[in-house]
Amino acid sequence: MNQPKDLPPATDLHLASRLAEIEPFHVVTLVTRAIELQSQGRDIVNMVIGEPDFPTPPAVVRAGIEALRHSQIRYTPSLGSTDLRGKLRGWYQGRYGIDVPESRIAVTSGSSAALLLTMGVLLSPGDEVMMADPSYPCNRHFVRAMEGRALTVAVDADTGYQLTAELIEKHWSPRTVAVMVATPSNPTGTLIPPDEMKKMHAVVRRKGGVLIVDEIYHGLTYGFDAHSALEFADDVFVINSFSKYFCMTGWRLGRMVMPQAYVPHIEKLAQNLYISNSDVAQQAAIAAFDAETLELLEENRAKFQQQRDYLLPALRDLGFDIPVEPQGAFYIYANCSRFTDDSFVFCRDLLENAGVAVAPGIDFGQHHAAQHVRFSYPKPVPVLQEGVRRLREYIKA
Ligand SMILES: Cc1ncc(COP(=O)(O)O)c(C=O)c1O
């Protein structure tokens, strides 16, 4: 087809400079390839994607269907429906014994939107957000998308792959405005002990910055419940979601608790960026707090623990080095240097030749990335066993 004369050729794109610094999410590329192989009839053991394989709890589905049948699906307030924010207040009271006023709670389109809004209100061009390397890949890109800079700090097994008060103190720069942590962490499944979190909060506060704590994997800790940063601070941003514990990834519903003074700013940005969250998803999520649902989610939690308890020793037996036991989320971050000096090539090869999909370290940062892979284990144990069998064959070959 001929291009009209007054239009630039299709290849002459006007790409924003920030795009050069936003990397692809390799996990998604591998998932796409895994799906492609499956559609060609290959059986793939998928340990790459970070989502529960349990369905959305039935009471939530029923509430969603009811909403579609009986209510007009409309815009809701930008910070979320009053009903759902009320439920979330009750959740914080019941789970953590803390009273968070509804006015500080925002419902968002996945916690992804909560993270984006937080960056949107905190960052001016060039401001830095400190975060661990390795950590959740999108974080550094949320920062970049809002014209900030990710200040990544290499962390190792000695700190449980987490930032510490000492590291924050050491790496803080005049441009640092915030520190972002996730506990439990993606990709390592490790937690920040409550005492350390208090120290980190004290350092950030003394420096005049803001602490952002991603608690999206709360509820998915094994043998104990995690503490929320909200138990001792009300000047932190606490990010959470319905995606993981509540098994609602595809409903795109997240939430955050913010310091009171930031509420109008977050609200203004949410109004402009997306007006409101999905009304259906919010109505459905009301049932996420029913006793029936919570019982089911606790059964799921026990299954996740069984899956971890199978996979962790099995991977160590194969020769993967996993120095810190992951106590939460559903990930195992493993050193694979006994088998490869390039974990990306290893992952690609493993998928193509052994039918096992795992995530390469490069997604989560730069620090020893080529020596690490992430296993995502929310799969029935027999599926994990098959994955381990294939890995053993592949490694032997
Ligand atoms: C640590 C962490 N934060 C945030 C997210 C975003 O999740 P969602 O937008 O589904 O709530 C993820 C997704 O995997 C994650 O691992």
DSSP of 85-121, one letter per residue?
HHHHHHHHHHHH-----GGGEEEESHHHHHHHHHHHH
- Reading phi first (left if > 0) and then psi (alpha if -120 to 50, else beta), residue 221 is in beta
Phi, psi of 315 (to 5 degrees): -70, -40
CA of 10 to the centre of ligand 1 (A): 34
pLDDT at 220: 97
Sequential DSSP letters for 348-366? HHIIIII-EE-EEGGGG-S
- Tell me how far apart the alpha carbons of residues 171 and 175 are, in angstroms, rounded to a whole number: 11
Helix (H) or strand (E) holding 394: helix 381-396
> pLDDT band at residue 25, thresholds of 50, 70 and 90?
confident
- pLDDT confidence of residue 2: 46
Termini Cα distance of the chain: 51
User: Could you give the domains of the chain?
Assistant: 17-55+293-396 (3.90.1150.10), 58-290 (3.40.640.10)
Q: Do the beta carbons of residue 222 and residue 327 sit within 8 Å?
A: yes
**pLDDT digit string, tens, across residues 167-211:** 999 999 999 999 999 999 999 999 999 999 999 999 999 999 999
What CA–CA distance (Å, rounded) separates 361 from 343? 7
- CA dihedral angle for residue 380, residue 47, residue 109, residue 305, rounded to 10 degrees: 40
**d(Cα 121, Cα 270) in Å, to the nearest integer?**
10
Per-residue model confidence as pLDDT tens digits over 78-101:
999 999 999 999 999 999 999 999
Ligand 1 binding pocket mutation candidate from 49, 56, 111 (most atoms within 8 A of CB):
111
State which of 136, 248, 256, 376 you would mutate to test the pocket of ligand 1, scoring each by most atoms of that ligand within 8 A of its C-beta.
136
CA dist 302 and 223 (Å) reads 9
pLDDT digits (tens, 9 = 90+) for 39-82: 999 999 999 989 999 999 999 999 999 999 998 999 999 999 99
Mind listing the pLDDT tens digit for each residue in 229-281?
Answer: 999 999 999 999 999 999 999 999 999 999 999 999 999 999 999 999 999 99
Ligand 1, CB within 6 Å, residue ranges = 50, 110-112, 136, 182, 186, 214, 216, 241, 243, 249, 254
- Provide the whole-model pTM: 0.95
Q: Are 136 and 125 in contact (CB under 8 A)?
A: no
